[in-house]
Amino acid sequence: MKNDSIVFHGNLQQLLANVETGEMIPKLQASHAPMCKFFTAYYVISGIRHVVPLVHGPTGCPLYMSDFVRTRECCEIRGVPLEPTACTALDESHVIYGGEGKLLEAVKEAYAKYHPDLIVILSCCCSGIIGDDVESIAREAEKLVGCRVLALRSEGFGGDFRSGYEDAFRLILDLMEPPKKTMKGTINILGARWGPTPTEFNWDMDEIERLLGNVGIKINAIIAGGCTVEQITRAREVELNASWCYDWGQKLGDLMQERYGIPYSRTGQPYGPEATKEWILGVATPLGMEKKALAVIGREMRDVEPDLAYLKKALSGKTAIIEISEFPGPIRALSLARMAEEFGAHPVVINVHPYTIKERMPSIKFLVETGVNPEIILTKGLFKLGSFRSSKETEDELEEIVRTYDDAIFFGNAGRFPPCPVVNLTLMNPVFQPQYGFRGITNIAALVRQALENKDLPRSRLFKGMLYGTRTK
Amino acid sequence: MPDTCTDPYLRCAFNGAAQTALGVAGSALLAHSPQGCEYLVNNAFASQECDYMETMTLCTKLCVDEIVHGGEDLLARTIREAKDLPISALFVISACGPEIVGDDIVGVCEDMQPEVKFRLVPVPCAGFRGSQYDGIDIALDEIVKRCTKNTKEKIPDSVCLIAPHANANPTWIADLDWVQRILSQMGVRVVATLTHRTPLAEIENAASAETSLVVSHDAGQKAADYLSATWGTEQVCTGIPLPIGMTNTQRWLTTLGERFDAQKAAESMVAEGERMVMATCRRKWPMARFLYRTPAAIVADATVGIPLVRFVCEDMEMTPELVALYTSQRTVRTLLERELKELGLTPKVVYGTDVYTTRKSLAEVRPRVVFGSTIERHASEGLGVSYIVEVVKMMRQFRMINREYFGYTGILNLFECVQNEWTMGWRSKERSYKAKW
């Protein structure tokens, strides 16, 4: 393919190598700012019931969490009661004289006000730089209140977004008590955050729970997807750990395996029939429940037979252009690439940002090891100043690339306008959720059907103008 | 209980500074901060309704290296990266980290100025300097001092509008539009708005305004004081609540009319506005009238909350029994206390409230109606509150069209909020059965 806008064309393994050597990391400082360590640490901690995340910093850091995670996501969507987002509200005098004294008082006050099961002190840039010893304060404070008090160094400058949730999961490990028994046929699901799934729509986690339930596998805790402190303390009594997203669960799974010898089922996301089978068997086989799992898989496969047949017929011989964007994210997009290949399409993943490769290196390596190695194209627009997500440049480049294929189908979201059928896989349209598992196959088949049957309908001039302006290239 | 652990309503000073800078048209904002603070900028971006095709936000994405060794070089490099942007100004706002380690953003901007075509405006505004309203004041101070040109000539019947964005109405831009509209009808020229879609040239001319008008009770007073002290700019409409509700609007319009010798225009606006509101209500029948003397709570910023006291008490005939405001400045206290005295009300008053204090106050007062936000909807769970009228951000209902609370249409917009909540309150939730078909 000859195209001036292409800056990388190879496979995932080659891109990975380029990122590891630093060759593909963009040099523009001003471009692409993902979440900081504090955010992702908070995401994880907020997924524990009756926890007070006590932010040791000014009021700006917790407020995004308070509005977005607590009120909108948890209360409004997930049916969770209003839980506190407490803060020590550091000001200039604390920056000069230190905030440890205030923090100790704040822990006592938080316990008196909210009667939580757990208090987690989260440090921010301020408290980190002035050197407040949050761990010592946590130890001291724990003697004065009636619940566990833990400290998490989550300064925004202290690491990328991955380090925030990894450190938070590592902290959760400290809550786990030595097992008193083994819970037969029971697992933990690792890698969740925020809280339970939304109340009004079925989500990927619901599909996983349904399938596990059909096999007869019980879940002790979804860590940290609305689990209790008590469930965490018993987490070592399970027979196995698993994750619905390798990227998020991997760190805690590995740690629990290393420290406590609890096996961790290493599988990718259950997109499509093969990955779903692998996922279920990856959990059921170590538990000695393979036979029952195979029976469930057989029954589920029969139920989705028409959808599988449709997907094979619809995708066979096509080029599946898959774009990594906000929704779906990079790991999902790579899982989709595998699924597209399974149905006879040739996957081409476009514009997976080297930043996201760098941040998710262990997960991407795992996927490559399991044979996920699609063709990758990166374009110039990806490396321009500012955010790449909705840039006119990347849209123009995508349209140009799609034109070079005879029988392309686009997997991404409807914010793109390529000259081919568009499969709208955004997670922001809950109508076609879940995408995981067997119900996911039915939903994805419906989305592909919509894309192909309606490919000649006019696209929205309004939305395109909104996203990319009305000027021509 | 001591106040060491708070669950705040207000964001930090960095966010307020970003809101202010992003109100300058044809500019860009560079956050000298770790990447997480960029999300505070994104929030400010949305609040000012910026267009990402016109306004770019950048970030130095500071990491451990810059915290240990300083981030000035990185800041200079990032400014160079932005040098080809077609903008009139680049606001450089520093967050907590670089301020604590002592990065001199003012010095870097001075050094880099010759290399770029646009004006570099440093705004040191770490989050720990205070609330978002403090940040608005800090940024206004920097912007006015750095950008406003010295002039002795005043434009007759002109005004500089200050801090329209310090307002918890989620669509506050409609409030600003209303103010600009009525000023235009009175023949008053708006020289500059500090800030919303304000070209840099307007800010440069701000000193030529004859008067200033602060359109917030939460921020902006310091900028008005500075304009007054430095350029002799007279502040108008001081010491009275903003124009929410019949009486507040009448008083505000009358005061403006008197100052700008436009009494007739003001009288006509009041007469026509009141006639329109009454005629509309006669046709639409606001259900608020059924809530006569129902105990109510107001939980908001001072900009919306203080004028709402009279509106709730007088126009809607409910009884405010709790007033909890996010801020606690002396001017806020004085104004609210004067209003309560005039109205003969003695509600529980909380200044600088946080979510915990609000819940405790609601539990103590037990109002049946709360004017507040989605937070109060959840915070009043189990306290017997029948109606949560969401009027300040964050709000469950999305608005594609901006709606003002100021002025006469503002009254109808607030009635609409009450009406919808009243209707939703009647919706059957539990006693149902399945239809046969």
Structural domain boundaries in chain A: 6-30+306-468, 37-159, 186-303
Residue of A42, A54, A56, A63 to mutate when probing chain B, most B C-beta within 10 A = A63
Helix axes A272-284, A290-303, angle to 10 degrees: 160
Beta bridge partners of A120: A53, A150
Residue B434: pLDDT band by 50, 70, 90 thresholds? Answer: confident
Residue of A25, A29, A35, A90 to mutate when probing chain B, most B C-beta within 10 A = A29
Residue B33: pLDDT band by 50, 70, 90 thresholds? Answer: very high
pLDDT at A326: 61
Is residue B45 predicted with pLDDT exceeding 90? yes
Cβ pair A60:B129 closer than 8 A: no
Percentage of the residues of chain A whose pLDDT score is greater than 90: 71
Is residue A324 predicted with pLDDT exceeding 80? no
Predicted confidence (pLDDT) per residue in B117-130, tens digit: 999 999 999 999 99
pLDDT at A473: 53
Question: Which comes out higher in pLDDT, residue B120 or A31?
Answer: B120
- B78 touching chain A per CB within 8 A: yes
pLDDT at B58: 92
Q: Which of B95, B114, B147 is the last residue of a domain?
A: B147
Longest CA pairwise span in chain B (Å): 80
Q: Which residues in chain B (113-152) have CB-CB distances under 8 A to chain A?
A: 126-132
CATH of the domain at B348: 3.40.50.1980
Helices (H), ranges, B151-216: 172-185, 200-204
Residues in A closer than 8 angstroms to B132, CB to CB, are: 60
Of B15, B52, B128, the CB nearest to A126: B128
**Which residue of chain B is at minimal alpha-carbon distance from A94?**
B128
Is residue B18 predicted with pLDDT exceeding 90? yes
Tell whether B437 is covered by a domain.
no
Q: Is the peptide bond before A434 cis (omega within 30 degrees of 0)?
A: yes
| CATH topology for the A186-303 domain | Rossmann fold (3.40.50)
Residue B372 in 3-state DSSP?
A: strand
Beta bridge partners of B162: B194, B214
DSSP B31-77: EES-GGGHHHHHHHHHHTT--TTT--EEE----HHHHHH-SHHHHHH
Q: In what order do the strands lie in the sheet with B295-300?
A: B348-351, B319-325, B295-300, B369-372, B387-390
- B276 touching chain A per CB within 8 A: no
Cβ neighbour number for residue A92 with a 10 Å cutoff = 13
- B390 touching chain A per CB within 8 A: no
Residues in B closer than 8 angstroms to A158, CB to CB, are: 64
- Structure token pair of residue A34: 């993902």
**Which residue of chain A is at minimal alpha-carbon distance from B394?**
A67
pLDDT at A70: 86
Predicted confidence (pLDDT) per residue in A174-223, tens digit: 999 999 999 999 999 999 888 889 888 899 999 999 999 999 999 999 99
Residue A327: pLDDT band by 50, 70, 90 thresholds? Answer: low
**Which residue of chain B is at minimal alpha-carbon distance from A157?**
B63
The C-alpha atoms of residue A333 and residue A345 are separated, in whole angstroms, by: 14
- A393 touching chain B per CB within 8 A: no
pLDDT at A359: 82
Is residue B237 predicted with pLDDT exceeding 80? yes
Of A91, A109, A157, the CB nearest to B67: A157
Residue of B9, B79, B90, B128 to mutate when probing chain A, most A C-beta within 10 A = B128
The C-alpha atoms of residue A294 and residue A284 are separated, in whole angstroms, by: 9
- A81 touching chain B per CB within 8 A: yes
For residues B113 and B239, state if they share a domain.
no
Tell whether B33 is covered by a domain.
yes
Residue A113: pLDDT band by 50, 70, 90 thresholds? Answer: very high
Residue B428: pLDDT band by 50, 70, 90 thresholds? Answer: confident
**Which residue of chain A is at minimal alpha-carbon distance from B14?**
A60
Of B36, B53, B61, the CB nearest to A469: B53
Query: Which class is A37-159 in CATH?
Result: alpha beta
Tell whether B432 is covered by a domain.
no
A210 alpha-carbon distance from chain centroid? 20
Tell whether B208 is covered by a domain.
yes
Cβ pair B100:A95 closer than 8 A: yes
Cβ pair A33:B59 closer than 8 A: yes
pLDDT at A354: 84
- B180 touching chain A per CB within 8 A: no
Strand B209-214 with B234-235, pairing? parallel
Is residue A246 predicted with pLDDT exceeding 80? no
CA angle at A312 for the pair A306 and A316, rounded to the nearest 5°: 160
- The distance of B77 to chain A (nearest Cα, Å) reads 8
Q: How many domains does chain B have?
A: 3
Residue A441: pLDDT band by 50, 70, 90 thresholds? Answer: very high
Residues in B closer than 8 angstroms to A84, CB to CB, are: 7, 355-356
Mean pLDDT within B181-187: 98
* ipTM value for the complex: 0.92
Question: Which comes out higher in pLDDT, residue A251 or B264?
Answer: B264
- The distance of A184 to chain B (nearest Cα, Å) reads 39
Predicted confidence (pLDDT) per residue in B227-236, tens digit: 999 999 999 9
pLDDT at B429: 76
**Which residue of chain A is at minimal alpha-carbon distance from B79?**
A30
Cβ pair A92:B129 closer than 8 A: yes
Tell whether B323 is covered by a domain.
yes
For residues B255 and B289, state if they share a domain.
no
Cβ pair A89:B63 closer than 8 A: no
Residue of A27, A37, A59, A105 to mutate when probing chain B, most B C-beta within 10 A = A59
- B14 touching chain A per CB within 8 A: yes
**Structural contact between residues B56 and B169, judged by C-beta atoms closer than 8 angstroms:** no
Cβ pair A63:B52 closer than 8 A: no
The C-alpha atoms of residue A350 and residue A347 are separated, in whole angstroms, by: 10
For residues B21 and B106, state if they share a domain.
yes
Q: Which residues in chain A (88-107) have CB-CB distances under 8 A to chain B?
A: 88-92, 94-95, 102-103, 105-107
Q: Which residues in chain B (39-68) have CB-CB distances under 8 A to chain A?
A: 39-40, 43, 52-53, 56-64, 66-67
Tell whether B102 is covered by a domain.
yes
For residues B236 and B159, state if they share a domain.
yes
For residues B113 and B224, state if they share a domain.
no
- Structure token pair of residue A404: 């070079």
pLDDT at B3: 81
For residues B36 and B128, state if they share a domain.
yes
pLDDT at B282: 95
Is residue B345 predicted with pLDDT exceeding 80? yes
Residue B406: pLDDT band by 50, 70, 90 thresholds? Answer: very high
pLDDT at A332: 87
**Which residue of chain B is at minimal alpha-carbon distance from A471?**
B53
**Structural contact between residues A392 and A468, judged by C-beta atoms closer than 8 angstroms:** yes
Question: Which comes out higher in pLDDT, residue A452 or A326?
Answer: A452
A463 alpha-carbon distance from chain centroid? 27
CA distances, B264 to each of A43, B179, B191, B253, B259 (Å): 58, 17, 23, 11, 12
Q: Do A37-159 and A186-303 show the same overall fold?
A: yes
Residue type, B57: T
Sign of CA dihedral A313, A318, A319, A322: negative
pLDDT at A267: 87
The C-alpha atoms of residue A325 and residue B94 are separated, in whole angstroms, by: 29
pLDDT at A352: 86
Residues in A closer than 8 angstroms to B372, CB to CB, are: none
- A195 touching chain B per CB within 8 A: no
Tell whether B177 is covered by a domain.
yes
Predicted confidence (pLDDT) per residue in A2-30, tens digit: 678 899 999 999 999 999 988 887 666 66
pLDDT at A27: 67
The C-alpha atoms of residue B244 and residue B252 are separated, in whole angstroms, by: 9
Cβ pair B40:A89 closer than 8 A: no
Of B5, B35, B40, the CB nearest to A60: B40
**Structural contact between residues B268 and B187, judged by C-beta atoms closer than 8 angstroms:** no
Residues in A closer than 8 angstroms to B379, CB to CB, are: 82
Is residue A390 predicted with pLDDT exceeding 60? no
The C-alpha atoms of residue A85 and residue A83 are separated, in whole angstroms, by: 7
The C-alpha atoms of residue B198 and residue B211 are separated, in whole angstroms, by: 18
Mean pLDDT within A279-300: 97
**Which residue of chain A is at minimal alpha-carbon distance from B12?**
A60
Cβ pair A89:B1 closer than 8 A: no
Cβ pair B13:A60 closer than 8 A: yes
**Structural contact between residues A401 and A349, judged by C-beta atoms closer than 8 angstroms:** no
- B70 touching chain A per CB within 8 A: no
Q: Report how many Cβ contacts below 8 Å link chain A to chain B.
A: 181
For residues B215 and B251, state if they share a domain.
yes
3-state helix, strand, coil split of chain B in percent (to 5) is 50, 15, 35
CA dihedral A413, A419, A420, A425 (to 10 degrees): 0
Cβ pair A35:B63 closer than 8 A: no
- The distance of B379 to chain A (nearest Cα, Å) reads 6
The C-alpha atoms of residue A190 and residue A233 are separated, in whole angstroms, by: 14
> Which stretches does DSSP call E strand in A103-244?
118-123, 148-152, 186-190, 218-223, 240-243
Tell whether B312 is covered by a domain.
yes
pLDDT at B266: 98
- A77 touching chain B per CB within 8 A: no
For residues B292 and B366, state if they share a domain.
yes
For residues B140 and B163, state if they share a domain.
no
Cβ pair A125:B374 closer than 8 A: no
The C-alpha atoms of residue B194 and residue B200 are separated, in whole angstroms, by: 10
| Mean pLDDT of all residues belonging to chain B | 95
For residues B379 and B422, state if they share a domain.
yes
For residues B413 and B299, state if they share a domain.
yes
Q: Which of B110, B131, B147 is the last residue of a domain?
A: B147
For residues B307 and B404, state if they share a domain.
yes
Cβ pair B43:A84 closer than 8 A: no
Of A36, A95, A114, the CB nearest to B34: A36
Q: Which of B224, B259, B294 is the last residue of a domain?
A: B259
CB-based burial of residue A209 (10 Å sphere; 0-12 exposed, 13-18 middle, 19+ buried)? middle
Residues in B closer than 8 angstroms to A76, CB to CB, are: 374, 396
Cβ pair B394:A54 closer than 8 A: no
Cβ pair B129:A109 closer than 8 A: no
- Which domain, by its residues, includes B360? 285-426
